[in-house]
Every structure is written in C-alpha cells, then in structure tokens.
Amino acid sequence: MKSIIFIAPPAAGKGTHSTLVEEKYGIPHISTGDLLRSAKNANDDRAKLISELIEQGKLVPDEIVLELLKERLAQEDCKNGYILDGFPRNVSQAEAYDKILSEINMPLGNVILLELDKEIAKKRITGRLTCPKCNAIYNSEAEELKPQVDGYCDNCHVELQHRSDDNAETYDVRYDTYMRETAPLIDYYDAKGVLFRIDSSVGKERTFKEIEKIIGE
C-alpha cells in the first residue's frame, strides 16, 4: 500500500478524506495538526509557543513538527504506509521529509491535491465540529457531514467542539499562509510525477470516489 499525502487549503476536506482512506485501506491517519494540538497540552515553553502559533493561524517551526512526526512514523502501524494530513506544509518540510524517507527506506507514495475555492472553504469552517476524543470531523452546515445526534460524536458520543482557530478571521491568515508556504509544494510534487488533482467542491461522496480511483481497490 502506498502512502498518501493530502495537500489542500484549510477546511477543504483533508481530515475528512484522510479518515475515509484510513477506514477503507487500513493505514493510519497522521495529522500534524492533531499531533501539535496534543503537544500543546504540556506545561512547557514549547507547548506555549505551539498554542500561540495555532491561534494565530501561523506555521509551527519545522524542528518541532519534524520531531513529532519522526516519533509517530517510528511506530509499528506505519510500516505498511500511512496518510499524511497537514504535512508537509512548506518546501523545507518536504525536503526534510525526502531525507527521512531515504533513512527509513520508504517510498514517497502519491500526493493528492484537494482544490477548493477560498470562499467555499471559509463557509465550511464556521460549521466545522471536531470530536475531542477521536478527532472525527463533522459539519453542521453540510447535510452529509452532520452528526447523527446534534452536537455529539457518532463514535464516542462525547460533545463535539468547535476548534478555536476555526473562525473567519484566523481563516484568512491560514489561507494566506497556505498560498505563500504550502502552494509551492504543488510544483514540487508535480515535478516528481506523483501529484493528482481533485476538485473538492463536488461533495464528500464524489470527491472520495476520485480518491479511490487514484489509490485503487
């Protein structure tokens, strides 16, 4: 099974589709955003810095992200491939990741770009709800993404939360950060011949069908 990297503007469906790929293909979903949100609960200077940068919609320094990612990739469940959601976020992370892959002798796999217009993504963000226990993502604004019981996770039955950086103001900063730092990865991976583009405005089911075509049965 090949590993998958999702690249997309914030709220374009990286998390949702990573979870669907994890369920269908049985490879772990690694979100650097989730790794950082867990790390920010520690009581130290690093946690404070992570917390501030996430709240501002800015990128956390590469060294911190790479340290957390390396730890996660060393775990047994990553041996047969994994899904990267939110990493790499800039060209220097992509270059560092190429080095990690050659050290652990793993292939790059496929890179899937989920394309979505800024204004549609911004609307999605206001309704986005996350389970604090299993990190499942719901959306009160989209019929197909609503939880079965309003406000509660379908799997864990705990109360869903609205991420504090999911607001219109921080979204603009996050989107600008994406355009400036992350969008150059499109050319980076296109040049390696591993990039696939998918229109994410057509809804969850149709988008996932396109992803399945890329990954295969």
Rounded CA separation 20/167 (Å)? 25
Q: Which residues does the annotation mark as catalytic?
A: 14, 89, 128, 163, 174
Only one of the segments 16-24, 50-58, 124-132, 190-198 lies at the binding site for ligand AMP (rule: CB under 6 A); that segment is 50-58
The values of phi and psi at residue 148, to 5°, are -65, -45
Q: Interface residues for ligand AMP in 52-81 (CB under 6 A)?
A: 53-54, 57-60, 65
Rounded CA separation 98/107 (Å)? 9
Which helix (H) or strand (E) segment holds residue 133: the answer is: none
Q: Interface residues for ligand AMP in 9-48 (CB under 6 A)?
A: 10, 31-33, 36
Q: Which residue is nearest to ligand AMP (CB)?
A: 33
**Residue given tokens 């979505």 in the structure block:** 116
DSSP state of 58: P
Q: How far is the CB of 69 from ligand AMP (least distance, A)?
A: 8
Q: How far is the CB of 60 from ligand AMP (least distance, A)?
A: 4
Q: How far is the CB of 14 from ligand AMP (least distance, A)?
A: 7
Q: Interface residues for ligand AMP in 93-152 (CB under 6 A)?
A: 93
Only one of the segments 83-91, 98-106, 117-125, 193-201 lies at the binding site for ligand AMP (rule: CB under 6 A); that segment is 83-91
Is residue 121 within 8 A of residue 9, CB to CB? The reply is yes
Q: Interface residues for ligand AMP in 154-213 (CB under 6 A)?
A: 174
How distant is the alpha carbon of residue 155 from its chain centre? 20
Question: Which residue from 3, 17, 30, 87 is in contact with ligand AMP, where contact means CB under 6 A?
Answer: 87
Q: How far is the CB of 163 from ligand AMP (least distance, A)?
A: 8
Give me the DSSP letters along 142-198.
SGGG--SSTTB-TTT-PBPB--TT-SHHHHHHHHHHIIIIITHHHHHHHHTT-EEEE
Q: Is 89 in the site for ligand AMP (CB under 6 A)?
A: yes
Is residue 159 within 8 A of residue 130, CB to CB? The reply is no
What is the contact surface with ligand AMP in residues (CB under 6 A)?
10, 31-33, 36, 53-54, 57-60, 65, 86-87, 89, 93, 174
